[in-house]
């Protein structure tokens, strides 16, 4: 009988030691729309000539762990991924809590676990070790769920017979929809935006294979935190074109909120903001006799020693973004 993706349980874990499950005891059930994280290893053809046209035994190449993990954004789940994409937050308050993120040192790493046992494959649990989030993109569509699409790279891979944590935490999932959202440009809310996104690229260095290292990545250090955003909007004025022409320092903020937005259960919120950004010039094209639309691209940058391009605040009822 064919295996179905809906039967596979995916879990995530904070690593204690990089690319190792040692000391890892607590995990969390992941709610996801796609888990494209896979392991692959090339086979290399030798060039030895041995008296006929046949090749010799193929050689084993380096191990690659990479792929996507995509979710619909919910206040119960997103804090864990923000910490691994941005760095550890500053947390204040006491039920509700405010977790404030700015780009910093990334955590040691994370483990993604695919448990195939519930799908009928006894004793088959995949562990993708030493994973780090390279790119993370938050997207608000015209209609539907807000999404977070992540690109991961990892260091090692193993198949176990059982999950690392047989009783994973289940924080639940109540997703944000576009109807819960507000887009602010330059600090002012706007009602002419059809689609908006903010992304971070940690410019991971994944080419860290060493002789004698068993063909696995030694580490995956982060580089610059490159922060960008975009909006597709109904064209109503030249305000943003003028701002791009002038090189104006502006902001782009995506606010997802329900209830009073202060963080208690049913009243959570997530704000993601490019605190300082420049607009790329984009003059509107006329492609039909009807309404005109234009897409504007934002690039975030730091202003001063402590004022960084990305700022986000998650208000929820969870005391921490770690798994314990």
Query: Is a pLDDT exceeding 90 seen at residue 323?
Result: no
In a domain, 245, yes or no: yes
Cβ 268 vs Cβ 240: under 8 Å: no
CA distance 240 to 246: 10
pLDDT band at 226 (very low <50, low <70, confident <90, very high): very high
- The verdict on residue 93 lying in a domain is yes
What's the pLDDT score for residue 63? 98
CA distance 276 to 184: 13
Distance of alpha carbon 196 from alpha carbon 26, whole angstroms: 35
Residue with tokens 């290399």: 44
8 Å CB contact between 231 and 198: no
pLDDT in tens, 123-139: 999 999 999 999 999 99
pLDDT tens-digit readout, 157-171: 999 999 999 999 999
Question: Could you report the per-residue pLDDT of 230-279, keeping only the tens digit for each?
Answer: 999 999 999 989 999 999 999 999 999 999 999 999 999 999 999 999 99
Query: Do residues 65 and 37 touch, judged by C-beta distance below 8 A?
Result: yes
Residue whose pair of structure tokens reads 């692959």 in the numeric block: 40
Q: 224 falls in which pLDDT band (50, 70, 90)? A: very high
pLDDT-based confidence at 1, cuts 50/70/90? Answer: confident
Q: What backbone phi and psi angles, to 5 degrees, belong to 224?
A: -60, 145
Residue 87: which residues within 8 A CB-CB, separation 6 or more? 101, 102, 103, 104, 105, 106, 107
d(CA 61, CA 287): 50
In a domain, 48, yes or no: no
Please provide the average confidence, as pLDDT, over all residues in the chain: 95
Domain with 279 in it: 5-42+56-316
Domain count, the chain: 1
SS3 assignment for the chain: CCCCHHHCEEEEEECCCCCCCCCCCCCEECCCCEECCEEEEEEECCCCCCCCCCCCCCEEEEEEEEEEEEEECCCCCHHHHHHHHHCCCEEEECCCEEEEECCCCCCCCEEEEEECHHHCCCCCEEEEEEEEEEEEEEEECCCCECEEEEEEEECEEEEECCCCCCCCECCCCCCCEHHHEEEEECCEEECCEEEEEEEEECCCCCCCECCCCCCCECCCCCCCCEEEEEEEEECCCCHHHHHHHHCCCEEEEEEEECCCCCCCCCCCEEEEEEEEEEECCCCCCCCCCCCCEEEEEEEECCCCCCCCCEEEEEEECCCCCCCC
Residue 324 has pLDDT above 80, yes or no: no
- Mean per-residue pLDDT, 112-116: 98
Q: pLDDT at residue 186 above 90?
A: yes
- In this prediction, residue 308 has a pLDDT band, given cuts at 50, 70 and 90, of confident
Give a yes or no: residue 49 inside a domain: no
Mean pLDDT for 63-68 is: 98
What is the dihedral sign for C-alpha 200, 150, 90, 315? positive
Give pLDDT, residue 304.
76
Tokens of 117: 């046992």
Least Cα distance to 27 among 43, 40, 44, 10 occurs for 10
Mean pLDDT, rounded, for 45-54: 92
- Which residue's structure tokens are 């690392």? 164
Is 321 a member of any domain?
Answer: no
The mean per-residue pLDDT over the stretch 24-42 comes to 97
pLDDT at 205: 97
CB 250 within 8 A of CB 278: yes
Q: Tell me the C-alpha distance between 113 and 119, whole Å.
A: 14
Question: What's residue 307's pLDDT?
Answer: 77
Exposure string of 270-287, with b = 16+ CB inside 10 Å and e = fewer, is bbbbbbbbbbeeeeeeee
Average pLDDT over every residue of 192-207:
97
Q: Is the pLDDT of residue 13 over 90?
A: yes
- The answer to whether 201 and 176 have CB atoms below 8 angstroms apart is no
CA dist., res. 216 & res. 93, Å (int): 42
Q: In percent, how much of the chain has pLDDT > 90?
A: 95
């Amino acid at each position: 009988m064919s295996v179905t993706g809906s039967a596979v349980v995916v879990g995530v874990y904070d690593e204690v030691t990089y690319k190792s499950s040692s000391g890892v005891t607590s995990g969390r059930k992941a709610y996801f729309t796609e888990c494209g994280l896979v392991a692959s290893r090339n086979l290399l053809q030798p060039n030895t000539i041995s008296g006929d046209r046949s090749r010799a035994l193929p050689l084993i190449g380096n191990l690659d762990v990479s792929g996507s993990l995509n979710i619909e954004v919910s206040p119960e789940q997103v804090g864990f991924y923000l910490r691994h994409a941005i760095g550890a937050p500053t947390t204040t308050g006491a039920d509700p809590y405010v977790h404030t993120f700015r780009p910093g040192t990334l955590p040691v790493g994370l483990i993604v676990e695919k448990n195939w046992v519930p799908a009928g494959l006894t004793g088959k649990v995949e562990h993708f070790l030493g994973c780090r989030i390279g790119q993370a993109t938050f997207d608000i569509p015209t209609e539907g769920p807000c999404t977070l699409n992540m690109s991961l790279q990892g260091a090692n891979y193993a198949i176990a017979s059982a999950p690392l944590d047989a009783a994973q935490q289940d924080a639940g999932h109540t997703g944000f929809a576009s109807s819960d959202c507000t887009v602010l440009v330059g600090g002012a809310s706007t009602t002419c935006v059809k689609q908006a996104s903010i992304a971070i690229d940690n410019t991971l260095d994944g080419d860290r294979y060493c002789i004698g290292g068993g063909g696995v990545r030694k580490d995956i250090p982060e580089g610059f935190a490159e922060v960008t955003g975009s909006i597709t909007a109904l064209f109503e004025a030249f305000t943003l074109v003028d701002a791009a022409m002038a090189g104006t320092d502006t902001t782009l903020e995506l606010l997802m909120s329900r209830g009073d937005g202060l963080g208690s259960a049913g009243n959570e919120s997530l704000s993601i903001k490019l605190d300082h950004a420049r607009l790329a010039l984009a003059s509107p094209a006329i492609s039909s006799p009807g309404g005109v639309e234009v897409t504007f691209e934002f690039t975030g940058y730091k202003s001063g020693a402590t004022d960084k391009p990305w700022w986000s605040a998650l208000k929820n009822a969870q005391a921490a973004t770690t798994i314990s």
